[in-house]
Amino acid sequence: QKEVEQDPGPLSVPEGAIVSLNCTYSNSAFQYFMWYRQYSRKGPELLMYTYSSGNKEDGRFTAQVDKSSKYISLFIRDSQPSDSATYLCAMDYNQGGKLIFGQGTELSVKP
Amino acid sequence: DAGVTQSPTHLIKTRGQQVTLRCSPKSGHDTVSWYQQALGQGPQFIFQYYEEEERQRGNFPDRFSGHQFPNYSSELNVNALLLGDSALYLCASSLGQGRTTEAFFGQGTRLTVV
């Protein structure tokens, strides 16, 4: 079993839709939870990170962490075609420098 | 301010050969981590360099080795290339050994082994 599981998609939604992206994990020692966006042929770009449980909002993006269920989510409101990319969740135990990534979910937002 | 730069952007090598990939960290950063991203997969941690020493290593064979120079730039070397080494190799830099949440990634070197 992988430490971090993420539905690879692909996920296709119409412009303006609310998108929900999710990851589950098995190791309760994870403390830092991150979401990256990766455009085709580019490196990952950090969108948001959350420490421990709770919610964090940044513009159209909201990250949620439920440590009791070992489940994290990223919500994108009013999705735009420019949001079309692969979204990667990543986790770390203690900011030690070793990120554990999910497989990535490919998102396509259609105009 | 230049971000993380990697070279070359693309590379084709023959099975059994050796390859060296290079990374210049973001200005002000002193820690470099390397990841391997196979097609359709998330990045996998290879190792991290800080103060010119390998500090952490992922589950990769000894064919993968690295180096960090006094100017904080880094190299990833892979010997005896296998077809399965074909992937996007990503470099991430940060300030300090931790600070994973402040790591910046380069756009990667795409290695194809034929």
Contacts of B75 (CB under 8 A, 6+ apart): B20, B21, B22, B23, B66, B67, B69
Beta strands in chain A (DSSP E): 4-6, 11-14, 19-25, 32-38, 45-51, 54-58, 61-66, 71-76, 85-92, 100-101, 105-110
- Residue A57 tokens, joined: 């909002």
Is residue A7's pLDDT more than 90? Answer: no
Q: pLDDT by residue (tens digit) across A10-40?
A: 999 999 999 999 999 999 999 999 999 999 9
Distance from A88 to chain B by nearest Cα, in Å?
Answer: 7
Name the residue among A43, A98, A102 with its Cβ closest to that of B48: A98
Write out the residues of chain A at the interface with chain B, using a CB-CB cutoff of 8 A.
Answer: 4, 6, 8, 32, 34, 36, 41-46, 49, 88, 90, 92, 94-104
Q: Which chain A residues are closer than 8 Å to B40 by Cβ?
A: 8, 103-104
Q: Which of A77, A95, A84, A106 is nearest to A7 (CA)?
A: A106
Is residue B68's pLDDT more than 70? Answer: yes
| CB-count burial class (<10 Å; 0-12, 13-18, 19+) for A84 | middle
Residue B50 CA to residue B5 CA, distance in Å, equals: 18
Average pLDDT over residues A50-60: 91
DSSP codes joined into one string, A70-81: TEEEEEESS--G
- Identify whether the C-beta of residue A74 lies closer than 8 Å to the C-beta of residue A60: no
Name the residue among A32, A43, A104 with its Cβ closest to that of B107: A43
User: Which range has the worst mean pLDDT, A74-83, A89-98, B30-39?
Assistant: A89-98
Residue whose structure tokens are 């940044």: A58
Contacts of B2 (CB under 8 A, 6+ apart): B24, B26, B27
Name the residue among A32, A41, A102 with its Cβ closest to that of B42: A102
- Identify whether the C-beta of residue A40 lies closer than 8 Å to the C-beta of residue A92: no
What is the pLDDT of chain A when averaged over all its residues? 93
Q: Which chain B residues are closer than 8 Å to A102 by Cβ?
A: 42
- Residue A11 tokens, joined: 């996920």
Residue whose structure tokens are 């981590």: B33
Q: Which chain A residues are closer than 8 Å to B43 by Cβ?
A: 44, 88, 99, 101
- pLDDT of amino acid B99: 72
User: Which range has the worst mean pLDDT, A26-30, B66-70, B99-103?
Assistant: B99-103
pLDDT bin (cut points 50, 70, 90) of residue B78 is very high
Q: Is the dihedral of CA A10, A29, A34, B112 positive or negative?
A: negative
Is residue B1's pLDDT more than 70? Answer: no
| Higher per-residue pLDDT: A97 or B44 | B44
Q: Tell me which DSSP letter residue B105 carries.
A: E
- Identify whether the C-beta of residue A91 lies closer than 8 Å to the C-beta of residue B91: no
Q: Which chain A residues are closer than 8 Å to B111 by Cβ?
A: none
Number of A–B residue contacts, CB under 8 Å: 77
